[in-house]
Amino acid sequence: MTRILLCDDHAMFRQGLRGILETEEGFRVIGEASTGREAIRHALETKPDVVLMDIQMPEVDGVAATKAILAEQPDAKVIILTMYRQDRYVFEAIKAGARGYMLKDAGADELIEAIRRVAAGETLLNAEMAAEILAEFRKYGDLPSHPEHAISELTEREEEILRHLAQGATNQEIAESLGVSEKTVRNRLTEIFSKLRLNNRTQAALYALREGIATLQDGGDA
């Protein structure tokens, strides 16, 4: 069962989301928040699997709320909701650890598929989105910094895992592809994040793309 927290300051939009999600097998809406402060409190109290976070929230905006939630619950998976694809705040939220974003005019099927993918450990990072995010990060100089020698510290297997991750594979899919256990993949990812000074899978995917470990062509619909 995927437990979902809805965070948006428009009651009718939240009601619409709830109506869609609660008819879907395997989904359960465990709470709603109308402000960023409420979103943080509800997330810490209910520990949802997936958080749908509006970028423009009263009191505390969606970016700050995402940072606060992930600081306390690093396993939480945040999907940003926005009206605009080119939104500076979206890139800030991705940098903070959100798994991706959805436009508010997306269809119900698209939203449901996105939640399922994120709940399974994927990022919403297709080739087009990755290119936009990389361009935006470069524009503002916001790509996470890494030790110059860090990439040379990665083993061949770690680079392989990073390549699969950038292509949108879940830990289970990576494990099956490499013939190892899912626990081994998790442990290797922890080591990779430590070596590269990364905080989350999205940053790792962007790093792999930037350093040429993976390519946008490889990424497909990751």
User: 140-219, what's its fold?
Assistant: Arc Repressor Mutant, subunit A (1.10.10)
Q: What is the pLDDT of residues 48-78, one digit of tens each?
A: 999 999 999 999 999 999 999 998 988 889 9
pLDDT tens sequence for the chain (222 residues): 999 999 999 999 999 999 999 999 999 999 999 999 999 999 999 999 999 999 999 999 999 999 999 989 888 899 999 887 666 777 778 777 888 888 888 899 999 999 998 998 777 765 566 666 666 666 655 555 555 556 678 899 999 999 888 877 778 889 999 999 989 998 999 899 888 888 777 778 778 877 888 775 544 443
CATH class entry, domain 2-120: alpha beta
State the DSSP H helix or E strand holding residue 31, giving kind and residue range, or none if neither: strand 27-33
**Which runs of E-coded beta strand occur in 46-160?**
50-54, 77-82, 100-103
The 3-state DSSP class for residue 137 equals helix
State the DSSP H helix or E strand holding residue 3, giving kind and residue range, or none if neither: strand 2-7
Residue ranges per structural domain of the chain: 2-120, 140-219
116 CB burial (10 A radius; 0-12, 13-18, 19+): middle
Which DSSP symbol is given to 144? P
Q: Which of 152, 144, 150, 154 is nearest to 189 (CA)?
A: 154
The 3-state DSSP class for residue 105 equals coil
Q: Under a CB-based contact definition with an 8 Å cutoff, are residues 57 and 83 in contact?
A: no
In this prediction the pTM is 0.71
Residues 6+ apart with CB under 8 A from 92: 63
57 CB burial (10 A radius; 0-12, 13-18, 19+): buried
Distance in angstroms (rounded) separating the CA atoms of residues 201 and 126:
14
Q: Which of 162, 71, 69, 150 is nearest to 79 (CA)?
A: 69
